């Protein structure tokens, strides 16, 4: 749940059960620049800036078949063990590694987290 300050009443906060920035990188970059400018001008606080950054996570990058296999082998995992950590099946991991299908959604996000921060970030 996201809590953002409102301009109507000092100290009053509205609660929005959704994310404001979803996906579109050009729009996200533009908004980030605008919010950073407002922060530099003193119009918004550091806390507001941090809240904005949390609302707009970085884009998730795609993984090729060889990238997925390399990541799995770097962890010294078999396909079934790797699948277990990604909450998917060994068959799905095999298809990714052979280029038959590509990871999307939560699985792709988990691959990004493991690649960037290591498996410990999930445990």
User: Quick one: which H or E segment has residue 50?
Assistant: helix 46-55
What secondary structure, in 3-state letters, does 65-123 show? HHHHHHHHHHCCCCHHHHHHHHCCCHHHHHHHHCCCCCCCHHHHHHHHHHHHHCHHHCC
- Output the pTM of the full model: 0.58
- pLDDT tens track, the chain, 123 positions: 333 333 344 444 433 333 334 444 677 778 778 888 888 888 878 777 777 777 766 778 899 999 999 999 999 999 999 999 999 999 999 999 999 999 998 999 999 999 988 888 877
CATH of domain 65-121: 1.10.260.40
Tokens in use for 58? 């970085």
Q: Are 4 and 16 in contact (CB under 8 A)?
A: yes
**DSSP label at 13?**
E
Domain ranges in the chain with CATH number 1.10.260.40 = 65-121
**DSSP label at 7?**
S
| CA torsion, ordered 71, 23, 95, 86, to nearest 10 deg | 60
Q: Where would I find the H helices in 3-44?
A: 25-40
């Amino acid at each position: 749940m996201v809590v953002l300050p409102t301009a109507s009443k000092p100290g009053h906060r509205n609660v929005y059960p959704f994310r404001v920035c979803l996906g579109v990188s050009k729009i996200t970059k533009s908004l980030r620049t605008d919010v950073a400018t407002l922060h530099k001008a003193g119009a918004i606080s550091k806390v507001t800036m941090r809240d904005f950054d949390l609302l707009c996570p970085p884009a998730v990058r795609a993984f090729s078949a060889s990238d997925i296999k390399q990541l799995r082998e770097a962890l010294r995992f078999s396909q079934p063990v790797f699948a277990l950590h990604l909450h998917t099946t060994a068959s799905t991991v095999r298809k990714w590694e052979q280029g038959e299908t590509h990871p999307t959604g939560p699985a792709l996000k988990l691959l990004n987290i493991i690649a960037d921060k290591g498996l410990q970030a999930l445990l």
